[in-house]
Amino acid sequence: QSVLTQPPSVSGAPGQRVTISCTGSSSNIGAGYEVHWYQQLPGAAPKLLIYGNNNRPSGVPDRFSGSKSGTSASLAITGLQPQDEADYYCQSYDRSLRDVFGGGTSLTVL
Amino acid sequence: QVQLQESGPGLVKPSQTVSLTCTVSGGSIRADNYYWSWVRQPPGKGLEWLTYIYHSGSSYYNPSLASRVTVSLDMSKSQFSLHLSSVTAADTAVYYCARLYGSGRNYFDRWGQGTQVTVSS
C-alpha cells in the first residue's frame, strides 16, 4: 500500500484529455512538499515528466501539465496520443518516510 | 548529459548479500545538490525508493529497509554502490540507479536503464 494513492488505471481516446490523481496527506503533499511525475513506457526506465508540481523538463510536450492543491496533485494530458500509453507515477517527500512514490497509474489509449 | 549505468550479478541466492554498482558518466559525482540514488521495481509493481548518498558521504535510507541496505561512493571511479543483505524472493526486482536533485525539491532527473536482480536458490 503506497503512501501516495493513484488510480490503478485510466483510459481515453486519441485527442481526448485525461487526468491522473495523486492523493497524499498532511505528512507529504499537504505539508507543502512538491509533487513530481514520471512516465514509464513499457520495458523502459522511468522518465521525469513534471517536477516541482507544474514544471516540464526540456523536451516534454506542453500537452502534459501538473497541478497541486491541498493534499492532492493531478497530472493532465491533453490531445492524447497512442505513444502516451504508459505507466505514470507521482512522487513527493514525506516527513517520516522521506521520498515516496504513488502506486502508479496505467494509461490506456483506446 | 549525465548518464548512469547499473551493473550487478543478476541472480542471487536467498540469505546472501547482493551488491550493485552504478557508473556515472558525462558529469561529476561531486556536483552540488545532487544525490546518488537507488530505486527498485518488483515485477508488475510500482517504484520504491531505497537510498541515496551525497558526495560528502552523507547517506539516507528507506526506513523499511534501513537494517539491510548500505550505500557507498567511490568518487575516484565515479561510481556508487548498493549492498542489500539477507535477500529473499521479495527482493526480486529491477534495480535502478538515479540522480536526485535535492535543495528541498527532491526529484529524480536522470535514471539508469535498470538491472534485473532475481533471488532464487
Following DSSP, what letter does each residue of chain A receive, concatenated? --SBB--SEEEE-TT--EEEEEE--TTTGGGT---EEEEE-TTS--EEEEBTTTBPPTT--TTEEEEEETTEEEEEE-S--GGG-EEEEEEEEETTTEEEEB--EEEEE-
From chain A, pick out residues whose CB is under 8 angstroms from the CB of B48. Answer: 101
Task: Kindly report, residue by residue over B27-48, the tens digit of the pLDDT.
Answer: 999 999 999 999 999 999 999 9
Inform me whether the pLDDT recorded for A36 exceeds 90. yes
Taking a contact as any Cβ pair under 8 Å apart, which residues of chain A between 35 and 94 contact chain B?
A: 36, 38, 44-48, 51-52, 57, 89, 91-93
Task: Report the distance separating Cα B2 and Cα B109, nearest Å.
Answer: 10
Closest-CA distance, B52 to chain A, in angstroms, reads 10
pLDDT confidence of B116, banded at 50, 70, 90? very high
Instruction: Report whether B120 contacts B13 (CB < 8 A).
Output: yes
Inform me whether the pLDDT recorded for A65 exceeds 90. yes
Task: Kindly report, residue by residue over B15-28, the tens digit of the pLDDT.
Answer: 999 999 999 999 99
Do A51 and B107 count as a contact with CB atoms less than 8 A apart?
Answer: yes
Task: Report the distance separating Cα B79 and Cα B20, nearest Å.
Answer: 10
Strands B3-7 and B18-25: antiparallel
From chain B, pick out residues whose CB is under 8 angstroms from the CB of A101. Answer: 46-49
Q: Which triple of cell numbers denotes residue B118? A: 532475481
Do A96 and B63 count as a contact with CB atoms less than 8 A apart?
Answer: yes
B59 CB burial (10 A radius; 0-12, 13-18, 19+): middle
Query: What's the Rg (C-alpha) of chain A?
Result: 13
Strands B48-53 and B34-41: antiparallel
For cell 550487478, the residue is B8
Chain B residues within 8 angstroms (CB to CB) of chain A = 39, 46-49, 52, 60, 62-63, 96, 100-101, 105-109, 111-114
Task: Report the distance separating Cα A104 and Cα A108, nearest Å.
Answer: 13
